[in-house]
């Protein structure tokens, strides 16, 4: 069986488990389902961050900005203008994408300079959300944000509905990431990593491509932020623009393997669920430390992350079997 | 005769067994849930409330000994709204009868919403934002609110005869609401008020204090923030020495912890406090509370522990009443809690239809020589106000 076919079969099986198995197993357990939703929320941002980092070649420390803008855009549209929640969620993504346009001048910067510039932008957006009190509720934030509606008798405002929505967002984001990676754009972006000057010489519009990746990454993050606002039904600037929305997805993406499409998703599920379900009950006050050690170990022993490590193992075993 | 005696013993034994059996069937173990920030930025205040909750459970186990027993399952919400929701859902899944805890209106909001969905009572003293009770959730209760803090601050400033006041406040929901309430009340009484908002990330308060000193020239400075903010404001004031007669704050200020950690900054500063420090109790329940606190944590109780104790004790008593009425398993706890009318360590507590305690009024304490002396209102005072006086 070819690797490609095996991968497809694995993906179909994983999606079947996610869409059918998980609801059947945990549909009645609001706590576990709530944790999975929180993990998938981080996964969504992690995929968007990895898309920018891997394809765009830009390390961002400011994805909390897109998350916050997306969540506020959607919440305000739904609360103040009565926009239907699903439409508001997509418009939240559009809002975040538009906010990323303000960051385009930062594309001239590279490496740590770009990372720091985008971090500063995130802080600016947080201040704006705090100061625009009539619209955003200021530092007090917004409480009782409309939840997802009931459609054909199925309540998307409940845990299971939220799970299916965030799962679909993450799956679509990963498919988009994969599609771009396989396209000519993906080839150009990969070439840019090796030498940007050379790709420019052969006519690749590198700045445009990087800008497109930034806008797309912002859109995905904004949609995830909007989902979270309607799911948790609460927002304030500290929460919406919390550095946690940047740090955790980065940790998840690196843990899972940010150069793979599904690595960030696996990483987010692994670090969040293992931390909350396994380490927290054992070490209620120091569980984050164990997670930190685990992350360090992963970086030391498998710098590529969890997914490449999992892939390497069967190869070794098969070699051994052949020998 | 022997046979008769044997029969009598058998019948007595049987009767005793039935009586004991019946007693055992009535005795119940109640599991309470507690969701609190034990790590993260609100860890210190969460820990304070947690200690009060533990004292309430310990005292309830003593007073209901042989009849009922109580346990509390605590989950750390890590000062995160999402984890607060997860904690409530976990507690609901584990079969707790109600939830006591919560700190920070931004965490209590979504966490109490999750409790409402699960049909669980959520009682707190950690969120004073008006929006929390405006939602009208039948399962939400709190024993304190912004009004009680505002009344205490306004009352003290009025008794001081302050004609010009500068309010320096953090731009959070609870702090802004309180600052605006104090501003409105003082302005209505003809006091000139200067409002100065600051951001949570502010660490250097000298520019703001300079503005207060040169522009407002107030009689008193009212501070509405949290521990780190007070320390920053007082440090800046100590450097710039504005010509004021008093420095007045609200929560988290007139505490034993602040007296111990910042003795040079705290002297003569006012803050809300239900208790003097060292603690002086006369009421039997309060004496037992202080003794149990000392036994469990080897220290004197502070206001956080006191609030945690009161909310949990009221909850436990309502649980027992609902159980005796046979309504506990039928969702009768919110109605039973709403019937509460108790004189507690923080004064009289009753709940309105939104779960708010409209009787709540705070007291004001003043740091004096490493102690916290209650100075307002007059009937609760255990010492004299040192006025005018500032820490510099």
Give the Å distances, CA to CA, from A60 to A56, A66, A78, A109, A218: 10, 11, 29, 12, 11
Same domain as B128, residue B93: yes
Give the Å distances, CA to CA, from B67 to B20, B25, B33, B331: 12, 10, 20, 22
Comparing CA positions, the residue from B369, B161, B143 lying closest to residue B274 is B143
pLDDT at B24: 42
Identify whether A100 is part of a domain.
yes
Identify whether B392 is part of a domain.
no
Alpha-carbon dihedral sign for residues A23, A28, A29, A35: positive
pLDDT at A312: 64
Q: Do A238 and B106 touch (CB under 8 A)?
A: yes
Identify whether A277 is part of a domain.
no
Identify whether A21 is part of a domain.
yes
Q: Which residue of B has its CA nearest to A35?
A: B86
Check: CB of residue A232 under 8 Å from CB of residue B82: yes
Same domain as B161, residue B127: no
Check: CB of residue B102 under 8 Å from CB of residue B126: yes
Per the structure, the count of domains in chain A is: 1
Identify whether B5 is part of a domain.
no
B109: nearest CB among A31, A143, A284: A143
Rounded CA gap, B366 and B386, in Å? 8
Shortest alpha-carbon distance between residue A116 and chain B (Å): 18
pLDDT digits (tens, 9 = 90+) for B99-149: 999 998 889 999 999 999 999 999 999 988 888 999 899 999 999 998 899
pLDDT digits (tens, 9 = 90+) for B22-33: 444 467 899 999
Per the structure, the count of domains in chain B is: 2
Q: Do A236 and B113 touch (CB under 8 A)?
A: no
Same domain as B297, residue B322: yes
Give the 3-state secondary structure of residue B124. Answer: strand
Q: Do A31 and B39 touch (CB under 8 A)?
A: no
- Which residues constitute the domain of residue B101? 25-145+282-350
**Regions in chain A scoring below 70 on pLDDT:** 1, 311-323
Q: Do A284 and B90 touch (CB under 8 A)?
A: no
pLDDT at A320: 42
At a CB cut-off of 8 Å and minimum separation 6, what does B275 contact? B301, B302, B303, B306, B365, B372, B374
Identify whether A96 is part of a domain.
yes
Identify whether A285 is part of a domain.
no
pLDDT at B19 over 50: no
Q: How confident is the model over B60-67, as a mean pLDDT?
A: 93
Q: How confident is the model over B34-40, as a mean pLDDT?
A: 93
Counting DSSP H helices and E strands in chain A, the numbers are: 17, 4
* CATH number of the structural domain spanning residue B368: 3.40.50.2300
Q: Is the whole-model pTM more than 0.90? A: no
Shortest alpha-carbon distance between residue A38 and chain B (Å): 7
Which chain B residues touch A79 with a CB distance below 8 Å?
Answer: none
Identify whether A211 is part of a domain.
yes
pLDDT at B76: 93
Identify whether B391 is part of a domain.
no
pLDDT at B17: 45
Identify whether A44 is part of a domain.
yes
Identify whether B305 is part of a domain.
yes
pLDDT at B1 over 60: no
Same domain as B370, residue B333: no
Shortest alpha-carbon distance between residue A164 and chain B (Å): 18
- Which residues constitute the domain of residue A228? 3-243
Same domain as B31, residue B91: yes
Identify whether B268 is part of a domain.
yes
Cα separation of the two ends of chain A: 20
Comparing CA positions, the residue from A114, A284, A131, A176 lying closest to residue B36 is A284
Q: Do A140 and B131 touch (CB under 8 A)?
A: yes
Identify whether A291 is part of a domain.
no
Same domain as B258, residue B374: yes
A30: nearest CB among B89, B113, B135: B89
**pLDDT confidence bin for B319, thresholds 50/70/90:** very high
Shortest alpha-carbon distance between residue A15 and chain B (Å): 25
Identify whether B314 is part of a domain.
yes
Shortest alpha-carbon distance between residue A285 and chain B (Å): 7
Comparing CA positions, the residue from B21, B195, A313 lying closest to residue A321 is A313
pLDDT digits (tens, 9 = 90+) for B139-177: 999 999 988 999 999 999 999 999 999 999 998 878 888
Which residues of A have a CB under 8 Å from any CB of B? 29-31, 34-35, 38, 127, 130, 138-141, 143-144, 232-234, 236, 238-239, 244, 276, 280, 284-285, 288
Q: Do B199 and A130 touch (CB under 8 A)?
A: yes
Rounded CA gap, B123 and B140, in Å? 6
Comparing CA positions, the residue from B301, B246, B273 lying closest to residue B372 is B273
Same domain as B133, residue B152: no
Same domain as B88, residue B155: no
Cα separation of the two ends of chain B: 92
Best to test chain A binding among B81, B87, B129, B169 (most A CBs inside 10 Å): B81
pLDDT at B26: 63
Identify whether B1 is part of a domain.
no
Shortest alpha-carbon distance between residue A3 and chain B (Å): 39
Check: CB of residue B110 under 8 Å from CB of residue B81: yes
**Residue count of chain A:** 323
pLDDT digits (tens, 9 = 90+) for A230-244: 998 889 888 899 988
Rounded CA gap, B185 and B170, in Å? 19
Which chain A residues touch B80 with a CB distance below 8 Å?
Answer: 244
Same domain as B337, residue B258: no
B86: nearest CB among A35, A140, A244: A35
Identify whether B16 is part of a domain.
no
């Amino acid at each position: 069986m070819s690797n490609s076919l095996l991968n497809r079969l694995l993906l179909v099986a994983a999606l079947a488990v996610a869409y059918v198995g998980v609801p059947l197993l945990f549909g009645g357990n609001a706590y576990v389902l709530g944790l999975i939703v929180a993990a998938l929320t981080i996964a969504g941002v992690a995929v968007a961050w990895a898309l920018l980092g891997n394809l765009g070649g830009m390390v961002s420390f400011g994805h909390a900005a897109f998350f916050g803008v997306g969540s506020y855009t959607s919440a305000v549209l739904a609360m103040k203008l009565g926009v239907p929640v699903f439409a508001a969620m997509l418009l939240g993504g559009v809002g975040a994408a538009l906010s990323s346009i303000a960051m385009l001048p930062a594309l001239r910067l590279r490496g740590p300079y770009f990372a720091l510039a985008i971090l500063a932008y995130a802080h600016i957006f947080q201040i704006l959300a705090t100061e625009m009190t009539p619209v955003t509720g200021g530092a007090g934030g917004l409480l009782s944000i409309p939840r997802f509606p009931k459609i054909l008798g199925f309540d998307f405002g409940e845990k299971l509905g939220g799970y299916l929505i965030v799962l679909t967002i993450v799956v679509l984001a990963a498919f988009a990431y994969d599609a771009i990676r396989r396209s000519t754009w993906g080839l150009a972006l990969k070439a840019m990593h090796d030498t940007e000057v050379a790709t420019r010489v052969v006519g690749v519009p590198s700045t445009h491509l990087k800008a497109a990746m930034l806008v797309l990454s912002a859109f995905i993050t904004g949609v995830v932020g909007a989902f979270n606002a309607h799911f948790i039904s609460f927002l304030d600037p500290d929460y919406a623009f919390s550095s946690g929305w940047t740090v955790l997805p980065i940790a998840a993406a690196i843990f899972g393997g940010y150069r793979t499409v599904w690595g960030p998703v696996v990483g987010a599920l692994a670090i969040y669920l293992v931390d909350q379900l396994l380490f927290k009950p054992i070490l209620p006050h120091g569980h984050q430390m164990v997670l930190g050690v685990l992350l360090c170990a992963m970086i030391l022993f498998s710098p590529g992350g969890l997914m490449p490590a999992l892939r390497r193992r069967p190869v070794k075993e098969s070699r051994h079997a052949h020998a | 005769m022997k046979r008769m005696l044997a029969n009598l013993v058998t019948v007595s034994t049987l009767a005793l067994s039935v009586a004991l059996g019946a007693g055992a069937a009535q005795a119940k173990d109640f599991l309470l849930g507690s969701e609190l920030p034990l790590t993260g930025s609100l860890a210190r205040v969460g820990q304070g409330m947690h200690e009060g909750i533990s004292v309430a459970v310990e005292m309830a186990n003593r007073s209901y000994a042989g009849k009922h027993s109580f346990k509390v399952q605590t989950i750390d919400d890590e000062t995160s709204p999402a984890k607060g929701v997860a904690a409530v859902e976990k507690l609901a899944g584990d079969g707790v009868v109600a939830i006591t805890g919560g700190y920070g209106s931004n965490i209590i909001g979504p966490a109490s919403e999750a409790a409402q969905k699960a049909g669980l009572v959520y009682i707190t003293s950690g969120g004073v934002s008006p929006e929390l009770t405006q939602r009208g959730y039948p399962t939400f209760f709190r024993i304190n609110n912004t009004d009680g803090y505002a009344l205490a601050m306004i009352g003290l400033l009025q008794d001081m005869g302050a004609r010009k006041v500068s309010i320096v406040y953090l731009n959070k929901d609870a702090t802004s609401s309180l600052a605006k309430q104090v501003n409105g009340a003082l302005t209505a009484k003809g006091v000139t008020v200067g409002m100065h908002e600051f951001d949570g990330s502010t660490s250097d308060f000298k520019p703001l204090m300079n503005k207060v000193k040169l522009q407002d020239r107030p009689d008193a400075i009212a501070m509405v923030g949290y521990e780190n903010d007070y320390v920053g404001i007082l440090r800046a004031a100590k450097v710039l020495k504005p010509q004021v007669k008093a420095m007045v704050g609200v929560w988290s200020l007139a505490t034993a912890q602040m007296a111990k950690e910042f003795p040079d900054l705290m002297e003569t500063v006012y803050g809300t406090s239900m208790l003097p420090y060292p603690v002086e109790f006369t009421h039997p329940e309060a004496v037992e509370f202080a003794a149990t606190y000392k036994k469990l944590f080897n220290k004197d109780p502070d206001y956080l522990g006191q609030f945690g104790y009161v909310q949990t004790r009221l909850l436990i008593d309502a649980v027992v009443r609902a159980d005796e009425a046979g309504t506990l398993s039928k969702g009768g706890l919110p109605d039973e809690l709403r019937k509460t009318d108790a004189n507690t360590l923080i004064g009289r507590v009753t709940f309105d239809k939104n779960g708010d305690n409209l009787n709540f009024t705070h007291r004001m304490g003043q740091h004096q020589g490493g102690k916290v002396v209650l100075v307002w209102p007059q009937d609760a005072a255990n010492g004299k106000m040192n006025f005018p006086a500032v820490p510099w």
